[in-house]
Structure 1
Amino acid sequence: MSVQERKQRERAERERLIVATARELAERQGWDAVTTRRLAERIEYSQPVLYSHFRGKREIIGAVAIEGATEMAVAVRAATAAADGPRARVYALARTYLDFAARNPAVYDALFQLDGGLAFADEDTPEPLKDAFAALLESLGEVAGDGVDPGLFTETFWAALHGLATLTRAGRLPPEHIEPRVELLVDRLAMA
């Protein structure tokens, strides 16, 4: 291995460490606890080293969002692949999405609530974000119904899931009723 290759590998490892540490800190204490000073202390590098990877917290949030989008896409695809039939796939998608949001609140916030400097729904959207949407579209497109644009249907179903995730987490919807809500959403919206 050349010196250049070793340096690139070490740089990539430091970047993964920064993202993992930011994510862990945000999941435990919230995004307000994630500062460049605290990250530098936790990863045992100076702040200038951290800034050589990311221009600031906004870019770190973006990196966590991209990592989270990749994980969500994998989880959704695994759940829907194991389901038998369109309704079962849509139900598995909905439960997996809501479970991901509940288990990873800081990642979910990085994806959908915080400014990570990422473009959504345009040509500059990073591939992992496009792929996360594609993972939803793969199952939802088959139940969109005749004459309904599958992309528009997926956006609408996703918006409903996001609303359930966000309102439940904020305490606006009682968590004990999540199953009936998912059943209602799947039966009424996705069974054209």
Structure 2
Amino acid sequence: MGIAERKDRQRADRERRIIAAARVIAEREGWSAVTIRRLADEIEHSQPVLYSHFENRDAIVAAVALDGFREIADALRHAASGSTGRNAIKNVATAYLAFALRNPALYEAMFILPSSLRFAEAGTKPELRAGFEALAAVVAPFCVDMDVATETFWATLHGLVELERSGRIRPGARSERIALVVRAVAVPRK
């Protein structure tokens, strides 16, 4: 391995450590505790080293969010595998809610905190598209306009997550709500 390759690996490793540290701190203490200074201390590097990887804290949050989008896409694809129709929609909806509620700070980075990440544009990152495509795959058999149906399905799941996270709806009724969402989405085409 050459010097340049070793430096690239060290840089990539440092970047992964910064992202991992941000996730740990955010899940444990909330995003307000994630600062450049705190991350520098956590990974035992100077603040300028962090700035050589990320322009600012928002860029770190966006990198964490990209990890989250990769993870949720994998979870949704896994939930859909081996099932079809209403079962696939139910499994994906259940997996979406479970992922969001199990990873509150990660979900917050993905969907709540301000971000430069953009959906539904020509330049949308593949990580963001993958999650959308995993949702679209299960609603496609039931809709004429797949994009609108997928956006509505996603918005419904996101709303359920946020209402449950904030304690505004009963967690004990989650399966009934998912069943209702499935019935609403899985209407056979005419």
1:52 paired with 2:81, answer no
TM-score, normalised to structure 2, is 0.96
133-142 or 96-105, which deviates more: 133-142
> What RMSD in Å do the two structures reach over aligned CA positions?
0.9
User: Among residues 138, 148, 157, which one is paired with 1:152 in the alignment?
Assistant: 148
> What letter matches 2:55 in structure 1?
R
What SS does structure 1 have at the residue aligned with 2:68? helix
Residue 92 (structure 1) aligns with: 91
Distance 1:75 1:18 in 2: 24
Q: Distance in 1 between matches of 2:186 and 2:168?
A: 24
C-alpha displacement of 1:122 = 0.5
1:55-93 Cα distance to aligned partner (Å, 9 max, x none): 11100110011000000000110110032x311100000
User: Normalized against structure 1, the TM-score is what?
Assistant: 0.95
Query: Any unmatched runs of 5+ in structure 2?
Result: none
How many Å separate the matches in 1 of 2:186 and 2:154? 11
> What percentage of residue pairs aligned between the two structures are identical?
48
Residue of structure 1 in register with 2:63 after alignment: 63
Q: Distance in 1 between matches of 2:23 and 2:82?
A: 29
Does structure 2 retain, via aligned residues, the 8 Å contact 1:87–1:191? no
Q: Is the 8 A contact 2:139 2:185 kept in 1?
A: no
- 3-state SS, counterpart of residue 107 of structure 2: helix
Is the 8 Å Cα contact of residues 37 and 47 (structure 1) preserved in structure 2?
A: yes
Q: How does 1:24-63 map to 2 (within 5 A)?
A: 24-63=24-63
In 2, Cα distance between equivalents of 1:52 and 1:166? 35
Q: Partner of 2:16 in structure 1?
A: 16
In structure 2, the residue matched to 1:165 is 161
Amino acid at match of 1:127: P
Tell me which amino acid in the other structure corresponds to 1:124: G
Structure 1: 5+ residue stretches without partners:
none
Provide runs of 4+ in structure 1 moved above 4 Å.
none
Report deviation, 1:188.
2.3
